[in-house]
Structure 1
Amino acid sequence: MSTFQIHTIDSAPDHSRPVLRQLQENFGFIPNIAGAMAESPVLIGAFINLFQRVHAGTFTEAQIQTLLLTNAVTNACAWAVAFHTALALQEGLAAADVDAIRKGCAPADGQHAALSALTKTAIEKRGHLDGHDISAFFEAGFRRDQVFEVLAVAAASTITNYVGSITQPPLEAQFQIHAWQA
């Protein structure tokens, strides 16, 4: 059982409340993991700024969800795997590709496979990518600047995944169908 509170707008520290309101508007609810993050206005503020930047970058939402789901699996964050499974399917990722990522395998789609491989490798190698890792990404049609954009998505994931591992927030009912265990 977690010792961390899942905050609501009313229970959150004052400086966390605007972020929770924004997430409420974006998703129609406050994800439990954000309620946990709200304990720290510094953390949730940094997270929302990075989250906004990532979603305003060059990747499509389907590509971003490929990255976020891969990161959640690689970091073994059950809450984030379930959440990003739902969002990936909503964004049109093939169910077989989502299932492959959840199993730690490459999706069949070539660009999604390259995204998944690069982010997984970056996490596992702690950023020590070699020429082979990066050239495979380029061969799939991506650019140099997008290597760093993958790292920005990984940074956002790291915040979420680590908070999930530390706080163990309950999985919302709508994501139960996508529950996952490492």
Structure 2
Amino acid sequence: MFVKHTVESAPAGARRFVEATVKHRGYLPAAVGLLASSPHLLEGFLKVSALFEASTLDPLAREVVILTMATRNGCHLCVAMHTARLTELDADPATISALRNQEPLEDERLEAVRAFTIAVLGTTGDVSEREREAFLSHGYTPQNALEVVLGIGAYTMSTLANRLTGAPIDAELAQYA
């Protein structure tokens, strides 16, 4: 049903994003080739995820949001991709394992992000005062709370699209599957 595009076969509206991804990664991830069928979704995801990457949440906190989304939504590709990213960031292997298994984190500050992400998802944003205060008490800000929502939005797009298209795990990520 879904075509895994190449740089040459990508619709005109997606081609520059496909080319930029190849330049950045050195290869074309299957998921990007599949998302290229919708230039608007591909562009939207890349732009929103770039905004999330530029947010004031630190890299580990961002990856906690992403891997929480990936495991919750059952996106095996995202789990592998963001396990690789956490490994690049020298994250504690116990943290990576706990995130992959949807378990609480030993690091209280990162656990606050994980718990807050789950609370935002579980309440569709109507988190309790107690949950907000628990998040803020670990040095996070109201801006960070909204940035968690930004990450949820970005990775809702990718996890659902990857599952819909059946995006496979690329050979470059197989060791993190």
TM beyond 0.5: yes
| Alignment match, 2:57 | 59
The residue correspondences of 1:19-168 to structure 2 (distance < 5 A) are 19-168=17-166
| Alignment match, 2:14 | 16
Equivalent pairs: percent with the same residue?
26
Q: Tell me the TM-score normalized by structure 2.
A: 0.94
CA drift at 1:9: 1.1
CA drift at 1:44: 0.9
Distance 2:85 2:161 in 1: 19
* Unmatched segments (≥5 aa) in structure 2: none
Q: Per the alignment, in what secondary structure is the counterpart of residue 35 of structure 1? A: helix
Q: Which amino acid aligns with 1:116?
A: R
Q: Which amino acid aligns with 1:161?
A: T
1:125-180 Cα distance to aligned partner (Å, 9 max, x none): 3222111221111011100111000000111100110011101111111222222x
CA drift at 1:58: 0.5
Q: Which amino acid aligns with 2:74?
A: A
Q: Per the alignment, in what secondary structure is the counterpart of residue 32 of structure 2? A: helix
Distance 2:82 2:44 in 1: 20
8 Å Cα contact 1:62/1:92 also seen in 2: no
Q: Per the alignment, in what secondary structure is the counterpart of residue 6 of structure 2? A: coil
Distance 1:162 1:170 in 2: 13
Distance 2:78 2:123 in 1: 21
Q: Tell me the TM-score normalized by structure 1.
A: 0.92
| Alignment match, 2:167 | 169
